[in-house]
Every structure is written in C-alpha cells, then in structure tokens.
Structure 1
C-alpha cells in the first residue's frame, strides 16, 4: 500500500509541479493558494459575522468553529507524523522560493478551503459548484507550488469535509452557545 501511495504522489507531483509548469499558471497558483490561507479564512469569518444577515452571521460562527477544529486536527497530525515537505526531498521541483518551517501532512490550506467550501455549500447550496471549484484549485496549487504531496492534499480534503459535516450536523448548537457565551452572537 505504501508503495502505491508513493507512486501516486510521485506521478501527480511530477505532472502538476513540473509538466504543467507555465508562467501564467505560476501567477494564478501563487495567488489562488492564498484563498486557503489564514488571512483569507479569518477575513471571511469576520466579514460574515460582522456584516452578514442573521443567516449569514450564523454561518460565520459555524465556519469559525469548523476552521478552529479542522486546524487543530491539521496541526496535531503535522506534529505527530512529521512528514517533510516535498521540496526538501525531491530535487527537481519548482519551489517558487517558498520555505515553510512546519511539516507537510496534511495540507492546512486545502483543509481550510474544503472546510469553507463544505460549510458554504451546506448553508447556501446554489454556491456549491463555485466553492468546490475554488477549493480544488487551492488544493492543486499546493502541489503546483511544491509545498505538498498529493496525499497531503487528499488528507486535507478529507479533514476539511469531515469537520464541516461534523460541526454542521452534530456540533452546531454547541458552536452557537459558545458564540453567545462570548457575547459574539
């Protein structure tokens, strides 16, 4: 099984990072990846909570809970598994000058983008296709930029989807209660 996953990673990272390399994609991917970053995620939550209608405000609180839980899972897995980033191991990768100090597995950007996509899709179904396309582009950008293996991205997709579903269907009242107790609701 481990050999199959390694072959999967090697094939896709070579395809996406090396063979798909193009100056226009360099620009698109280096910007798209930020849609899964902490600044965009935080700004989205703040905007939803501060200026949204009551339904959108509640979605903002839900998203805050989802992102908090999913990122705790991500950082715990990164510390436990300590997987080196691909650019530290594979010599021929296009790295775009990125030098991150944390570990690779799972992808936090992909987790955040899928957390946001699933939460938005569950609350505003008509946006589902758009938010999932954006989340997929964020995941692919992480491989394109040489900072993650495809299995890191797949794990991030899973953690983001799982956490969003868990919060939406089982922990939503708990999240709202915390928001209310903190005077945010």
Structure 2
C-alpha cells in the first residue's frame, strides 16, 4: 500500500507519517507473532493436560487390574525413555553434508542393493534396503543417546561450576556502590 505524497502536504510531515505508518506495521506484525506463539503454548499445555489425564486413567486401570501392572509399567518406562530420546534424534543433522554433495564410498550393503537391482531381484533389494534403513536408524538412535548423555553431563558440570562460584555478600557495598552512595548524600 504505497501511497504517493499529496501535493498540498509538506515533505517533513509526509516523512513523519511514513515513519509512523512503518512503526505501526511493525507493531502489528510483532503482535501477530506473539499471538501465534501464545496459541502454540496454549496448544502445548492442552496436550500436556490430555497426556496427564490419560496417564491418570491408566493408573486407575492399573489399580483395578494388578496382574497387568508389571507389563504396563515396563511399557510406560519404555515409552518415557523413547520420548526422552526422540527429541535428540536429529540434533546434529545441520552438521552433516547433504547426500547429493557427499561422495562417500558406498557400504557393502549398498553395493549389494545396486547389484540386486541390476540383476532384477527386487525382493532381495527390498530386504537389503530394509536392513540398511534399520542400520541407519540404529545409528541415529545411538547418536541421540550420546547427545542426551552429553547434555546431562554438561548440565551437571554447569551446576557444579555455578555452585563453586564465589557468592557476593549482600550486606556489604562494592566500591562503585559506595562511591555512588557518597555522591547522593
């Protein structure tokens, strides 16, 4: 919406109007972004509440049927561990080169897949492809476990370093504060 300057308006007023118009557009855009973020947070809270309610229902079922509680507890720990690790799955993906740019040598499994395709044995190629994808997914899982462990270790180191830092005594004045207090008298 780029309007031309009216002929009967001074240049400085027109520039001021344009500046105010731009500022209001920026504020409106920021407000839209804030609203979107708020909606996302609200949706996340609702999902967490729904998950808590489902967990409560599962706990009630466990109380009713104690024989199945052992298997469900084991399943819930597995699910919890998977949820914990899932967030680290592609944590270092930005460091890897795209497949089109990398000219890494092919593994033996990839060579076997190409040979099976060239001979026309599609079933073998599919099973080998499944093996290759399973292997790659296993590598991603191992990397995500390593990333999780590294972040936990790093957080603990930061906490210990923070605890070791010298704490300031709040009842004393620093030199600058003392000087400012003296100047205010």
Q: Same fold (TM over 0.5)?
A: no
| TM-score, with structure 1 as normaliser | 0.22
| TM-score, with structure 2 as normaliser | 0.22
The higher radius of gyration belongs to 2
